[in-house]
Amino acid sequence: MSDEPKLEELDRLISMGKQKGYLTYDEVNDALPSDIVSLDQLDDIMSMFGALDIEVVDSAKAARLPSEMQRQAPAREEPDEEGGGETIDLSPGPVGRTEDPVRLYLREMGRVALLTREGEIALAKRIEEGREQVTNAILSTNLALERFRELREQLRRGEISVKDVVDVNEEEFSEEKEAELTRQVINAFGQVDRLLRERDALLEEARRLRQFHAEAYKRWAGHVRLLPGARELLGLLTDLGIPWAIATSGHRETAAPALELLRLPPGVPVVTRDVVDRAKPDPDLFLAAAAQLGVDIADALVVGDSVWDMLAARRARALGVGFLSGGYGQEELERAGAYRVYEDPADLLRHLDEVGVRLPTP
């Protein structure tokens, strides 16, 4: 069926509905094309009827408008040619298999629970957060920066109106206000351009510093040594079937030499700074590691040698265990949230029972 007959049928339905104030299920079902089977299509059509104040009622018993609509209509002293009034029963029919798309639509819609006020607020917040994320993503692109500069130049040359750039109240808008608003928008675009240039310069500086750090680290990579008991501790955890992962603030390139010394078994998750948005003391590294292990972070143990490790573990709701190898004292680590503090991995290996690891009995 072509689009033209479909539109003609819908126009006929709308005209009939406006004339009577309502439509019956049979009238809608007979007029709809047979290829309309999507609930989204039916939703659009029913929403259109609702916007036009056209009610859809049961065709079997809807001999006239519902009583609610009659009370709203002007009273007229006309005899009822059909005799006594008949109550319209809009209750749903028997639940069973139906091929009536209108009834199918209403049945499916009836299964959707109405939102509470708290649900509406939560949904509105999620929508607002989504819009903000999309906006931030768009504004972080070079295309957006070029568009800002293009709009600023077009406003300066008078090629476009400020009304094409920002929303304005037409009723209160005047030539004087347009000129002032144009000046403000041009200045705002200039500030955005300046801030974005500063951001790019900072990002470039951070990239150079990271590269310098990586080169310096490589020069000293040959002097890197494992802490006593590190490889033995990880080997025992593997033998006991206890899942573990590596989470480091270092980038993959700089962390590679130490990871090679550990001789990690295949399949051990390694989370580096490259794959998370924020480093410690934010918990992103540990949350990502727990997710890769498939465990609840609240059931995990975080081992580190800095106060930033302990703070991040606390924020992640994990149990923190500190080593003294990072230059921080026991009191500092405990203030940051460490449950226990040990000299090094070898010391922890001798006291695994203190952190809930059950060793097999000899």
Same domain? 286 vs 329? yes
Residues of the chain where predicted confidence (pLDDT) is lower than 70: 1-7, 33-40, 58-113, 221, 362
Same domain? 266 vs 201? no
pLDDT of residue 313: 95
Cβ-based neighbours of 35, under 8 Å, separated by 6 or more: 1
pLDDT of residue 285: 95
Phi-psi region of 182 (alpha: psi -120 to 50; beta: other; left: phi over 0): alpha
pLDDT of residue 316: 94
pLDDT of residue 232: 94
Given the DSSP bridges, would you call strands 270-271 and 301-304 parallel, antiparallel or unpaired? Answer: unpaired
pLDDT of residue 75: 46
pLDDT of residue 189: 86
Please list, residue by residue across 86-96, b when 16 or more beta carbons sit within 10 angstroms of its beta carbon and e when fewer do. Answer: eebeeeeeeee
Task: Give the domain extent around 127.
Answer: 122-205
pLDDT of residue 97: 46
Same domain? 137 vs 35? no
Same domain? 131 vs 189? yes
Angle in degrees, CA 263, 268, 272, rounded to 5:
90
* 261 domain residue, yes or no: yes
Same domain? 94 vs 200? no
* 117 domain residue, yes or no: no
* 150 domain residue, yes or no: yes
* 24 domain residue, yes or no: yes
* 25 domain residue, yes or no: yes
Enclosing H/E stretch for 19: helix 3-20
pLDDT of residue 59: 55
Nearest by Cα to 1 from 25, 41, 36: 36
pTM of the model as a whole: 0.49
pLDDT of residue 118: 84
